[in-house]
């Protein structure tokens, strides 16, 4: 099983460019979420989704858009990249219920110059 797949693994953007970070899961999990990890800050929740067509904002949503058209995919869009968005991005999926089954992707390291 692939689990949670994130692409690309590395990306360099110029300020003002747009891009989409891809996230796909093959475990039929209902819930998916995006996090960013900055040095000394731990992981912070950007957006999350409880199912196709349903998304909500997390702790640090500004500058990011998401959509969930299918159960499997949850892309994260940067409309106009800024140096402050330089970070490592993780996507996760989990099953509905109280069991601890969060699965993380391997991350995307994004640098905005």
Partner 1 sequence: AQKITQTQPGMFVQEKEAVTLDCTYDTSDPSYGLFWYKQPSSGEMIFLIYQGSYDQQNATEGRYSLNFQKARKSANLVISASQLGDSAMYFCAMREGRGGADGLTFGKGTHLIIQP
Residues forming the site for partner 1 (CB under 8 A): 31, 33, 35, 40-45, 48, 50, 56, 58-59, 88, 90, 92, 94-100, 102, 104, 106-107
CB 2 to partner 1: min, Å: 14
Q: How far apart are CA 29 and CA 92, in angstroms?
A: 10
CB 17 to partner 1: min, Å: 24
CB 16 to partner 1: min, Å: 27
By beta-carbon proximity to partner 1, the closer residue of 6 and 85 is 6
By beta-carbon proximity to partner 1, the closer residue of 45 and 52 is 45
């Amino acid at each position: 099983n692939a689990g949670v797949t994130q692409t690309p693994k590395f990306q360099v953007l110029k300020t003002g460019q747009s891009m989409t970070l891809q996230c796909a899961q093959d475990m039929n999990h209902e819930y998916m979420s995006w996090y960013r990890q900055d040095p000394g800050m731990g992981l912070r929740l950007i957006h999350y989704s409880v199912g196709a067509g349903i998304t909500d904002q997390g702790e640090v949503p500004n500058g990011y858009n998401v959509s969930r058209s299918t159960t499997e995919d949850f892309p994260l869009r940067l409309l106009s990249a800024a140096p402050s968005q330089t970070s490592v991005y993780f996507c996760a999926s989990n099953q509905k219920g109280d069991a601890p089954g969060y699965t993380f992707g391997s991350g995307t390291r994004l640098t905005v110059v």
